[in-house]
Structure 1
Amino acid sequence: MRVVVFFALLCVLIFAGCENVLRDAPPPEPEPVGPQTKEEVLGLVRPVIGPLRNIVALNTGGLSDFEREQIMASLRTAIVNYGDTDFGREALRELGYEVMEIAKSAASQERYKIVLTCIDAIELLSMESHLLKRLGERADVILERPVVRVRGFLDDHEKDDAYVFLELVDRQRGTVEKLEARVGDEFNNLRLVRIIGRNSAVLLEYLRMPGLFFEVEAF
């Protein structure tokens, strides 16, 4: 009988000890949530700049103000979500380098609104580029150039001269200025270089960037 009681007490003590051990054991480590590597973060953030990449790759279309704001908002979210880890910062830096390449391609295509959007993205990612700074300055000057529309021509046979009727649209204010000009005339930082063909188009020079010529077809 004593033996039975002894074993019963021993079992109670063992069970109580095991219970204490289980109670005192640390909880299991939680499973990591979200991306854990630079490559995983890049896979999530690269689509953000997809619209910029597609426009430059196809050399067509443009970027609306709504799309631009979506890109910037998504970049801000990415910085908040991934900017506090080393691999996240590396991924965002890599994304910035890709945006720089897009900006260079956009500049070569004279898509200066895309260039400025890329520069804003680079600044948001806290990166610097002297080349992009120069491209940004060029883009600002280009976008100040008025939009030119050719509305008609008038040949003055007595004076052996020709007049071109133009409309100049201010990109910022949307105002329209109408004027007439002859070859050699300078106006609004533009110079009328020559009339092309049989009054089919004109060649203009943007005087704020000497040597920058562009053609405008007659409507």
Structure 2
Amino acid sequence: MSRPLVLIPARMQATRLPGKPLAEIGGLPMIVQVLHRAQEADLGPVVVATDSAEVADVVRAAGGKAQMTAAHHPSGSDRIHEAVTQLDPEGHHDLIVNVQGDLPLIAPRAIRAVLEVMDPPEVALGTLVAPITREEERTASSVVKMVGTEHAPGRFRCLYFTRATAPWGEGPLWHHIGLYAWRRDALARFVALPPSPLEQREKLEQLRALENGMRVDAAVVDDIPLGVDTPEDLARARVLWEARA
């Protein structure tokens, strides 16, 4: 039986939306909304990993758990690796679910879906994709596409991730959703590796795993959760929240 630990990395120094973990959505700070979605998924303990005492205080005031981490981490993967090492030094948790701290509208069922691809022991990393339905997203470099082989209904073995429009030709395109389930040993290996050439070229961290021979599988979900990266995203998230209330 797997023993998942759900970690939510959060930092205050986002370039395009500074202080975004504390931005209000639906009457609560965004990080608390993400915390609630992760708790509703009911996979295991949920902890926010942050370098900000202010974020940690807000999470704890909402009844959640926070783990302080160093400020220098280059990525969320490095931050959650430090957090899990501190939280679980004896290795009781074998699967680490990384829920991005800027997905306040993500469905709990989508968080649960990422574990469904982790059954084969050779899968090092699980993630999510959804079909692209808006024409403008097919060519947008801000929309990351997954190129992969469907080996079971709704299950892909990922071959590449890109900001380009790929694969070429007729057929669906798949929008990658940046939510991950790591085998713990794979996460430790990943953060010890240097940034890879294609990772640096595409500015996509997950390519480091593929370039180093790690198997990445993806589950298909119905919708693409809005990631809040800019003031415009925040305004849209507030509108969407009110519409679902």
Q: Same fold (TM over 0.5)?
A: no
Greater relative contact order, per chain length (Cα 8 Å cut-off, separation 6+): 2
Kindly indicate which of the two structures has a greater share of residues assigned to helix.
1
TM class by shorter chain equals under 0.3
TM-score by length of 1: 0.20
TM-score by length of 2: 0.18
Kindly indicate which of the two structures has a greater share of residues assigned to strand.
2
Q: Which has the larger radius of gyration?
A: 1
